[in-house]
A and B are shown apart, each in its own frame.
Chain A
């Protein structure tokens, strides 16, 4: 009779394998919470005098055309003097929470010189922002309207003086040979209220067209003259017909006068002299768009369009 082989006794593992399950759960759960916490951007509050159209959970903050955050709550201020919005910024937009950031509410705007924020008709209003550069902040004062457009290009601003504003509105075109080279930025009464001051902005490539002896005139509206020898209709571009506009010409007498400096002031005539329209000085201008650069193979059309 053989005795059975001795039983192999294995020790139970000191650390039961099953306890890996709660440890894994702890690791995964902790990681999920941590990720949510890290991905969450800061929350900022913005005070506005008027909050028409802003809705919690719906209104988004846009920067460079992409969503940078969402309004999480809208509340009236205790004294009823305005509204306070809470905005949860996206993580990637956290550097918008800096002192000096300017927030404003974009409403649809339909004017003769263009349609702005048309998409907000459908999507509701939205917030826009120009980032500041100061230290981190969480409380802001919103602007009542969009700030004056940032001069992104190296254009130049001039002041025009005239007796009455006429039909010139903000955004009205500034024309050279009926080509739009700038726009009217703002207008106000002069300090002694005897005239109107209009600030225009010329796009960078065209700043050299304005010389110290340049003449400006108002192209707004149209006039219709009938005399013995026929009818004459004076008109310019359709855009300036509706919203008004400013045209200018520079004398072609050589040597050319020096280019006008930033903020130079000119008189705005109500009508051009016949002579002004004949001026054709040769003034080199920078190419406004690299697409018009002659690259060799782009054919004749770009070459034609090149100024």
Chain B
């Protein structure tokens, strides 16, 4: 066990990605935000929040939240999983394209914290007692965990493995 812990390894990336995928389930099923405005109580999951925004005519915001909170986390994990599978199969042909995908995933990662930021922001700001109160719910914690784990998975992924055959890649 005195082996030095190597953070940058595809096994780690796979573990983090799997954990992130697991956390995405409660993140999408559990309510993330309770809003209470003059006696009107709502408990929203990410998806029901998007639907509500859409219904209220806020299409742009609905689209942003949908892309940032539902599409990007899912696409990121799917992309990462695909890259990991490719490296296991040996040096892929389209290395250049895969590397660009990796760069895109890495770049886009920070933006999926938008939802968490929004929830923290609203919870801190909107506290008007009887009139309007916003409370964060457990779903946002799962969502934050999923985002953090995805970022870790992206960081742990070693793009050099794309160029190596499984034989010469270090364990």
**Chain A residues within 8 Å of B, Cβ to Cβ:** 10, 12-13, 16-19, 21-22, 24-26, 28-29, 32-33, 35-36, 55, 57-58, 60, 70, 123-124
Contact = CB atoms under 8 A, between A and B. Distances in A.
List the 7 shortest-distance A-B pairs measured between CB atoms, nearest first.
A25-B19, A22-B19, A22-B18, A18-B15, A25-B22, A58-B40, A32-B26
B102 interface: no
Contacts of A28: 23, 142, 145
Interface of B: 1-3, 5, 11-12, 15-16, 18-20, 22-23, 25-26, 29-30, 39-42, 138, 141-142, 145, 149, 171
Nearest to A88: B43
9 contacts: A13-B3, A21-B16, A22-B19, A26-B22, A29-B22, A29-B25, A33-B26, A36-B29, A123-B39
Given A10-B2, A21-B19, A32-B26, 6 more contacts: A16-B11, A18-B12, A22-B15, A33-B29, A36-B26, A60-B41
A29 B171 contact: no
A33 B25 contact: yes
Which of A10, A28, A60 is most buried by chain B, counting CB atoms within 10 A of its CB?
A28
B105 to A, nearest CB: 19
A180 B126 CA distance: 48
Contacts of B20: 25
A255 to B, nearest CB: 60
Contacts of A21: 15-16, 19, 149
Nearest to A19: B15
Contacts of B39: 58, 123-124
Contacts of B22: 22, 25-26, 29
Contact of B42 (A12, A19, A57): A57
A215 B90 CA distance: 105
Contacts, number: 67
Interface SS majority for chain A: helix
A57 B142 contact: no
Contact of A12 (B16, B18, B29, B171): B171
A32 B27 CA distance: 10
B3 A25 contact: no
Given A12-B3, A12-B171, A13-B1, A18 B11 contact: yes
Nearest to A23: B19
A35 B137 CA distance: 12
Nearest to A58: B40
Contacts of B145: 25, 28
Nearest to A71: B41
Which of A12, A55, A57, A60 is most buried by chain B, counting CB atoms within 10 A of its CB?
A57
A137 B53 CA distance: 36
Nearest to A67: B41
Contact of A25 (B2, B23, B171): B23
Which of B2, B20, B41, B171 is most buried by chain A, counting CB atoms within 10 A of its CB?
B41
B26 A10 contact: no
Which of A12, A21, A25, A28 is most buried by chain B, counting CB atoms within 10 A of its CB?
A25
B19 A24 contact: yes
Contacts of A29: 22-23, 25-26, 142
Nearest to B156: A18
Contacts of A16: 11, 15
